[in-house]
Structure 1
Amino acid sequence: MLDLIKLARQLPDMGAHLQEQAAIGHERIGRGLSLLQEAQEDFKVLQAQQQTWGDRLIFNCGIPLEPLDTRISISTPARAHTVFATDGSQIAPSHHEIAYCYLINIGRVMLHYGQSLHPLLDHLPEVFYRNEDLYTSRKWGIRTDEWLGYRRTAAEAEVLAEMACKWVLPPGSHAHIPNVAMVDGSLVYWFLENLPAEARQQILEPLLGAWQQLRETCIPLVGYLSSTRSVEVVHFLRLQACPHGQPDCQTHCLDGETKERKPEFRETLPCQAIEPLRDSTLFETFLKPGDRSGLWLSQARILSHYPAADQVCFCYLHVGTEVARVEMPRWVAEDAPLLDQTLGIILAQVQKGFGYPVAIAEAHNQAVIRGSDRARFFAFLEQQLLKAGLKNIGVSSKETRKRGSVA
């Protein structure tokens, strides 16, 4: 039990600290805006430097596809449009339960506007219990619960593509109706970078195959990031803040023998003058509700495994309550009318969802597995195992004791 009385003594100091940090942050934003203006004046020079010295940088920064100070007002979406969304949840495997298995539950949502059609709101649960599901990942040194998360990511994309393409493609199809397929979070699956090639391929192959289906059906795909901590734009500004004529980090800032930062740069580098400022905070200062920033191309290492058409671009969109990061494949970003239409639908979704896209929120609500759902799943599983003739079914002594605490 949490003792709030003891905590109350610490909160005044915390409030004073946060107030001090807010003042520092305000000054940092001012420096960031000045640096952005300077970078725009030297835009072509910085682009050339990034192209020439990109492989010598020790930080990852996005590639600007439009001027840094771009601000474009998004058009109102067509009255008739359709939104697809998926989200996932899971029950992780536990040796303390009655059976070692895991479950993935994918919530799927299809919302139609201006068409007098019923929505689709449901979920697709699947239980995994075979040896190849539970233990194959261990040959790569990947824990089963970690592998579960990767498989869920791929399943979300597959279900999204199947649902959207099945709706758009049939005879008497709805291909003429504007639409968008949405997922919660980034399209840059950076967490796959360090996986062995065989393991990474088992996740990326079905995932990118789903993206290909969406591309061939001309269904724009977007990843919506709320409260994003991304700094790819701020990192680009480090090129402007670099005190050297050539942004060669490995020569100027790293020790030639150890390849670590030189002693004088252990705490911070000269180019980190505005960090830890976030991209969204910077754009919030000059974007108005309904505006988007310029387009950027992400340079995350994992994208080297994506096809050219699916390289991930992003922009920042002021949705009224916040500045969100919106990611999309390059084929969507390069189609200006389609991009404007897609962002317009996203804005409408945020308005309908009172600050967050309603389709993604509903997909989450369909997917989420609460404590009571988990208990019902294992109770149902126990019944099935007993019907199958298995005996000595039960949870571990540790789990039994935790559930029956007398404290």
Structure 2
Amino acid sequence: MLDFVKVAAQMGTVGQVIRQGAIASQQKQARALEVLKRMAENLDTYRQAIQAWGDSFPFNAAEPIESLTVKHAVLPAPTSHTIFATDGSQIAPSHHEIAYCYLINVGRVAIAYGQGQRPHLDSVPQLVYDPDELGRSRGWGLTIEDWLRYRRTQAEMLALVELIQTQNKQAPSLALVDGSLIFWAWESLPPMVREELLTPILAAWDELRAKGIPLVGYVSASRSHETVNFLRLGVCPYPEPNCALHCGQTSQLSLEATRDRPPCQVFDPLRDVLLWQAHLAPQQYSPLWRSRSRILEHYGEHHIYVAYLHGGSEVVRLEVPEWVAREAELWQQAVSLTAAQIAKGRGYPVALAEAHNLAVVRGSDRQRFFALLERELIKAGHWHVAPSPKEQRKRQSIA
């Protein structure tokens, strides 16, 4: 039980620290906007610099493909359109439960606006009780929690396309997922593992491309610095941005330990969303940027582009494959339908909220799941079925 009296006693300085941080953030926002406007006057030079030196940067910097200062207005969504969305949840394996297994549950939503059709709402559970499957992650140096999270991401993408295949697409449509399309952590995976995860996803995206349905990864409260990091080129005092030569950056850890920060880090820790919040008005979106994350080298024709949309209550990061970004009609369709979803959901897309509600596994669901599993184990002849004493005692706590 949380003792709120003791917690309250530790909160005396929180408001002051937050206020100081807000003031510092506003100052960095203003500086970043000044640099943005100055770089826009000579953008080709900075594009050439990131193309020449970007692979050696110790940070991720996106490359703009439009003018830095352009502000696009969101176009109205067509009356008739369809939104497809998925989101996932899971029950992680535990040695304290009656069986070591995991469950992935994906919520699926299809909402046809202006077409006189009822929405499609369902969830697709996937139970895995295979010792080989559960043990493979350890052989690759992964925790089972990481492997489960990667499998869930894959399941969400595949379930989205499977849902679309069952529907008759007659109106402009949008495929929407919660979270990034850039699977940052997968770059460090063994090649065979990365291929096993990524290949089915890219094949599913091929189908979306063939159907002409734009895909959007919706990232709320993004912590990305990719576009702000591009502004580092505008404050670099050296003739070429050779970080290893001029600043001797070996690791972020060593920099923090020595407090020896390169001159281009004047914006830290300003995030992209704060930069674009200061630049955009509601119902406007930023120029497109080409992400330079190294994992995208494995994406083929689905390289990811990003933009920031001011939806009113927050600035959100939108991620789309290259074939969406390079097709003006598809890109405008993606933005207008996403913005319409935000408006209908009063700050968050309706379809994603419904997909989450369908996917989430609550405490009562977890109890019913293990009760069902216990019954099946007993039917199979396992008479001594029970969670560990620790788990039993936790469930009987008097607190």
Q: Do Structure 1 and Structure 2 share a fold, with TM-score over 0.5?
A: yes
Structure 2 partner of 1:33: 33
**One-letter code aligned to 1:365:** N
Give % identity.
46
Q: What is the match of residue 9 of structure 2?
A: 9
Q: What is the correspondence of 1:296-335 to structure 2 with a 5 Å cutoff?
A: 296-308=289-301, 310-335=302-327
| Equivalent position SS for 2:12 | helix
CA positional deviation for 1:14: 1.0
Q: Is the 8 Å Cα contact of residues 231 and 279 (structure 1) preserved in structure 2?
A: yes
Question: 1: CA distance between counterparts of 2:102 and 2:268?
Answer: 41
* Whole-angstrom distance in 2 between the partners of 1:129 and 1:215: 34
SS of the residue corresponding to residue 76 of structure 2 reads coil
| 1:3-34 Cα shifts (integer Å, max 9, x gaps) | 11122222231111111111111111111111
Q: Contact 1:253/1:262 (CA < 8 Å) preserved in 2?
A: no
Report Cα offsets for 1:63-111 as digits up to 9, x if no partner: 1010111101111011000000000100000111111111010100000
Q: Corresponding residue for 1:161?
A: 161
C-alpha distance in structure 2 between counterparts of 1:196 and 1:56, whole Å: 22
Aligned to 1:95: 95
**What secondary structure is seen at the aligned counterpart in 2 of 1:78?**
coil
Task: Tell me the distance in 2 between the aligned counterparts of 1:16 and 1:311.
Answer: 43
Task: Name 2:281's counterpart in structure 1.
Answer: 288
Q: What does residue 359 of structure 2 align with? A: 367
Distance 2:295 2:84 in 1: 26
The letter for the 2-side match of 1:81 is H
1:240 to 224, 228, 234: 234
The reply on whether 1:348 has 2:322 as its aligned counterpart is: no
1:236-258 CA distance string (max 9 Å, x none): 000011010110001001179x9
Q: What is the TM-score normalised by the length of structure 2?
A: 0.96
1:136-178 CA deviation, whole Å, 9 max, x = no partner? 222212222221111111111111011113324xxxxx3x410
Distance 1:113 1:295 in 2: 28
Preserved CA contact (<8 Å) 1:137 1:199 = no
Q: Is the 8 A contact 2:58 2:249 kept in 1?
A: no
Alpha-carbon spacing, 1:142–1:37, altered in 2? closer, same or farther (3 Å) = same
In the alignment, the residues of structure 1 paired with residue 350 and residue 289 of structure 2 have an alpha-carbon distance, to the nearest angstrom, of 26
8 A Cα contact 2:342 2:349, kept in partner: yes
Which secondary structure state, in structure 2, belongs to the residue aligned with residue 246 of structure 1?
coil
Contact 1:86 1:106 in 2 (8 A): yes
- Say whether the 8 Å CA contact 2:216–2:318 is kept in structure 1: yes
Residues 8 and 87 (structure 1), Cα distance of their counterparts in 2 relative to 1, 3 Å cut: same
1:83 matched to 2:83? The reply is: yes
Tell me the secondary structure at the aligned position of residue 188 of structure 2. coil
* 2:379 paired residue among 375, 387, 398: 387
Measured at CA, do residues 406 and 198 of structure 1 come closer, stay the same or move farther in structure 2, by a change above 3 Å? same
Which of 179, 197, 205 is matched with 2:199 structurally? Answer: 205
Query: Would the aligned equivalents of 1:82 and 1:110 in 2 still touch at CA under 8 Å?
Result: yes
**Deviation by residue 1:218-272 (Cα, 9 ceiling, x = unmatched):** 111000011111111100000011010110001001179x999689974421001
Structure-1 residue corresponding to 2:128 = 128
Question: Aligned residue pairs: how many?
Answer: 399
Moved more, 264-273 or 96-105: 264-273
Please name the residue that 1:396 is paired with.
388
1:278-302 deviation per Cα after TM superposition (whole angstroms, max 9, x unaligned): 1111111121111110000111111
Instruction: Structure 2: give runs of 5+ residues left out of the alignment.
Output: none
Cα gap change, 1:186 to 1:259, in 2 (>3 Å) = closer
CA RMSD of aligned residues (A): 1.8
8 Å Cα contact 2:296/2:304 also seen in 1: yes
For 2:239, the aligned partner's letter is: G
Give the ranges of 4+ consecutive aligned residues of structure 1 lying more than 3 Å apart after TM superposition.
258-267
Distance 1:16 1:240 in 2: 32
Q: Deviations over 1:336-359 (max 9, x none)?
A: 122112111111100111100010
Letter in 1 for 2:346: F
Q: Could you say what secondary structure the match of 1:135 adopts?
A: helix
Give the partner amino acid of 2:204: A
Structure 2: distance between partners of 1:115 and 1:370: 33
Q: Which runs of 5+ in 1 are unaligned?
A: 169-173
- Match in the other structure for 1:171: none
Letter in 2 for 1:179: S
Is the 8 Å Cα contact of residues 243 and 249 (structure 2) preserved in structure 1?
Answer: no
- Other-structure match for 2:370: 378
Question: Displacement of 1:400 after TM fit?
Answer: 1.1
CA contact (8 A) 2:33 2:279 kept: no
